[in-house]
Amino acid sequence: MADADEDDVKAISALIAALKPLNAESRVHVLEFVLKKLGISPSVQHASPAHVPPAAHTPAAPPATPPQPPPSSGVHDIRSFAAEKKPKTVNEKVAVIGYYLAQLAPEDERRDYLIADDIKTYFIQADLQLPTAPPNVTLINAKNAGYFNASDRGQYKLNAVGHNLVAHKLPSGEAGEAKRRAAPRKPRKKATTRKKAGK
**Structure-derived torsion over alpha carbons of residues 7, 9, 11, 16, reported in degrees to the nearest 10:** -170
Beta bridge partners of 158: 148
The per-residue pLDDT for 150 is: 94
Whether the CB-CB separation of 123 and 93 falls below 8 Å is answered with yes
The per-residue pLDDT for 7 is: 79
pLDDT tens digits, the chain, 199 residues: what are they? 556 677 788 888 887 888 788 888 888 878 888 778 777 776 544 444 444 444 444 444 444 444 454 444 454 799 999 999 999 999 999 999 999 999 999 999 999 999 999 999 999 999 999 999 999 999 999 999 999 999 878 899 999 999 999 999 999 875 444 444 554 555 555 555 555 555 4
Beta bridge partners of 88: none
Alpha helices in the chain (DSSP H): 2-19, 24-37, 47-50, 52-57, 61-64, 78-85, 90-99, 116-125, 135-144, 160-164, 174-182, 185-198
The per-residue pLDDT for 6 is: 79
- The full set of domain ranges for the chain reads 2-60, 78-173
Cα-based distances in Å from 80 to 10, 83, 149, 154, 176 = 67, 5, 26, 28, 23
**One-letter amino acid of 100:** Y
CA 98 to chain centre: 20
Report the CATH architecture of 78-173.
Orthogonal Bundle (1.10)
The per-residue pLDDT for 75 is: 47
Whether the CB-CB separation of 42 and 52 falls below 8 Å is answered with yes
State the Cα–Cα distance between residues 79 and 127, nearest whole angstrom: 6
The per-residue b/e assignment along 24-52, b for 16 or more CB within 10 angstroms, e otherwise, is eeebbeebeeeeeeeeeeeeeeebeeebe
Going by C-alpha positions, the residue among 89, 86, 101 that lies closest to residue 131 is 89
